[in-house]
Amino acid sequence: MVFARNNGHIDYVKQAAFLANRVKYYLGLPTSIVTDSPCYLEDNFPDTFDHVIALEKYSDQNNRLYFDGAMSHTSASFNNKCRADAYVLSPYFETLLLDTDVVICNDMYLNCFTSTHDFLIYKESFDLGNIRDKSEFEYISDHGIEFYWATCVFFRKTETNNTFFNLIKHVQDNWEHYYRVYQLSSSMFRNDFAFGIAIHIMNGFRPGNFAALMPGKILYVTDQDILWRIQDDEMIFLVEKENRLGEYTLIKTQGQTVHVMNKLSLDRAIDEATNE
């Protein structure tokens, strides 16, 4: 299942459709989309999803900068405040919840469905650039709790997970309180932080075992990097050089699923890949 709400700058619905096709090819799973643009979806990507769950269109009042490499950026709405409803909206007992900017190139996520744990999330990560400070993806603040990635999550419909997603909704609705209590550097709502805070509470405000880990590590490139090309299970990235503003190193991956934070370059790469 994927959430996709366009903001006038990034076509999340197009990214979601691209993701769905790769999920079907590499994982062989049915797909569902939660979107506030069902007519746009039907006009441009008909019959892509097994289930279309329509949302009312509204603004989250949650703006951010979207970088397109180190030298370019734009400000746009960050419409991300509906992930807490994933438990209620999912048509499945077992759900693999993915962001639109995950480019799947293997079948690793199938291991989630044989796990004995009912909730899986990423904590371990690897930056393809491998030269940057990773502290922001280890703890949510300098003196805060561990960071978890809401980018890829697996859950089963259990009462415990129902409680967990209700707790995420509570954290979201009371964000001004929680971002201060957890000493976050920005008041901008982020699902990564909300999931991490909810996990901390579920564990009784101490390290615990509520959340088990997704298979492997989540591989990522930041929005300072550029996705240049997608071809089957191969991707080419221009990764920012250390202390060299606007200079890049070419990196090629094959058979590796990657979280691509530069959504603007992902849009272009999808257009090129689907027009070939």
Q: What is the pLDDT, as a whole number, of residue 131? A: 85
What is the average pLDDT across 232-248? Answer: 92
Query: Terminal CA-to-CA distance of the chain, rounded, Å?
Result: 27
Cβ(85)–Cβ(5) below 8 Å: no
Q: What is the pLDDT, as a whole number, of residue 276? A: 66
Portion of the chain with pLDDT greater than 70, in percent: 100
Q: What is the pLDDT, as a whole number, of residue 74? A: 85
Assigned token pair, 165: 């997603």
Please tell me the distance from the alpha carbon of residue 230 to that of residue 18, in angstroms, as a whole number.
11
Kindly report each contact of residues 169-175 with a partner whose C-beta sits within 8 Å and lies 24 or more positions away, as own/partner: 169/84, 169/85, 171/197, 171/198, 172/81, 172/84
Cα dist. 261→50, 167, 219, 225 in Å? Answer: 26, 26, 11, 8
Buried b (16+ CB within 10 A) or exposed e, 52-73: ebebeeeeeeeebebbbbbeee
The H-or-E segment that residue 65 falls in is strand 63-67
Across-strand partners of 146? 139
Cβ(140)–Cβ(57) below 8 Å: no
Cβ(125)–Cβ(165) below 8 Å: no
DSSP annotation string for 29-61:
---EEEES-HHHHHHHSTT--SEEEE-------
What is the average pLDDT across 210-232? Answer: 96
**pLDDT greater than 70 at residue 253:** yes
Q: Quote the pTM value.
A: 0.94
Please tell me the distance from the alpha carbon of residue 124 to that of residue 119, in angstroms, as a whole number.
16
pLDDT in tens, 12-44: 999 999 999 999 999 999 999 999 999 999 999
**pLDDT greater than 90 at residue 271:** yes
pLDDT averaged over the chain? 94
Minimum mean pLDDT range among 44-48, 124-128, 239-243? 239-243
Dihedral sign for Cα atoms in the order 257, 260, 263, 266: negative
Residue with tokens 């930056």: 127
User: Residue 67's pLDDT band (boundaries 50, 70, 90)?
Assistant: confident
**208 compared with 79, residue with greater pLDDT:** 208
Q: What is the pLDDT, as a whole number, of residue 151? A: 97
Options 3.90.550.10, 1.10.287.3510, 3.40.50.1460, 3.40.50.720; which CATH number does 2-275 get? Answer: 3.90.550.10
pLDDT in tens, 76-115: 777 788 999 999 999 999 999 999 999 999 999 999 999 9
**pLDDT greater than 90 at residue 265:** yes
Domain ranges of the chain: 2-275
User: Residue 245's pLDDT band (boundaries 50, 70, 90)?
Assistant: confident
The 8-class DSSP code of residue 202 comes to H
Map 255-267 to HEC letters. CCCEEECCHHHHH
Q: What angle do CA 240, 242, 248 make, to 5 degrees?
A: 30
Map 100-128 to HEC letters. CCEECCCCHHHHHHHCCCCEEEECCEEEC
Please tell me the distance from the alpha carbon of residue 214 to that of residue 217, in angstroms, as a whole number.
8
